[in-house]
Amino acid sequence: MASVEFFHASPGEFPVWVRVTLTTAFAIWGIHQLWSAAHCLIRSLDSAIWPCVRGKVVTSEIASAPSGDGHVRPRIEYVYTVQGSEMRADCIAFGLERQLYGSSSFAWHYLQRYPPGSTVYVFYDPQRPDVSVLEPGMSLRAFYPLLFGLLLVGGALMMAFAPFKVGG
């Protein structure tokens, strides 16, 4: 009976439902990461030709990771004006989003570079002036979500097609 095999497994093997669930979860998460990475890479490339205005840093601080594991990220908030409208943003560079936490030296580098009150060049999307960045163009950081997505999809493929046994 096929339904029994779906829920029960031989000793040392995972039931099929566990394998299907994990494979599906990794595949969906990986595809989401790849979609986000593509969006990030396109924005990175586009930002290199965006118009630029002067802005001012209003906040420059270190934000701790929600996990409390000691990792931190820089939080640089700045204001700029486009066509008479004042905008407020906090994107330093694409690929260096809110989720990316690192060491304190990583964060301090940006705090020293963008102290409060300093004048900065802000590159903004002419189609959506509320989308901006301080460091335009492609950087290695923009590839991190792509690599993570590829690892997740690769893991899903391995779970789907490789033997899946408990232990050795």
Distance CA 118, CA 152 (A): 41
Please report whether residue 19 resides in a domain: yes
pLDDT value of position 1: 47
Whether residue 9 lies inside any domain: the answer is no
Q: Which pTM was predicted?
A: 0.70
Mean pLDDT of the chain: 82
125: DSSP letter: -
Rounded Cα gap, residues 10 and 8, in angstroms: 7
Co-location of 79 and 126 in the same domain: yes
Q: How far apart are CA 162 and CA 94, in angstroms?
A: 36
Q: How is residue 116 written in tokens?
A: 């409060």
- Distance from chain centroid for Cα 64: 16
Give 142's DSSP letter. G
Most confident of 72-76, 94-98, 101-105, 113-117: 113-117
Domain identity same for 106 and 153: no
Q: Does residue 167 or residue 63 have the better pLDDT? A: 63
Q: What is the mean pLDDT of residues 89-94?
A: 90
Specify whether 163 is located in the same domain as 148: yes
**Is residue 103 pLDDT above 80, yes or no?**
no
Q: How far is CA 168 from the centre of its chain?
A: 35
Residue 113 sits in the same domain as residue 132: yes
> How long, in residues, is the chain?
168
* Residue 10 resides in a domain: no
Same structural domain, 43 and 113: no
The verdict on 87 and 111 lying in the same domain is yes
- pLDDT for 41: 83
Instruction: Return d(Cα 90, Cα 120) in angstroms, integer.
Output: 12
Number of folded domains in the chain? 2
- Could you report the per-residue pLDDT of 144-158, keeping only the tens digit for each? 778 888 888 888 888
The parent domain of residue 37 ranges over: 15-48+137-168
Instruction: Give the Cα separation of 3 and 140 in Å (integer).
Output: 48
Task: Work out the average pLDDT over 108-128.
Answer: 95
In a domain, 4, yes or no: no
> Where residue 71 sits, what CATH number does that domain have?
2.40.50
Same domain, 93 and 125: yes
What pLDDT, on the 0 to 100 scale, is given for residue 79? 98
Q: Is residue 5 part of a domain?
A: no
| Confidence tier at 13 by pLDDT (50, 70, 90) | low
Residue 88 sits in the same domain as residue 143: no
Q: What pLDDT is recorded for position 164?
A: 56
Q: Do 78 and 37 have their domain in common?
A: no
pLDDT, tens digit (0-9, with 9 covering 90-100), for 41-76: 888 889 999 999 999 999 999 887 776 677 778 889
Nearest CA-CA partner of 97 in 160, 30, 31, 40: 40
Same-domain status, 62 and 103: yes
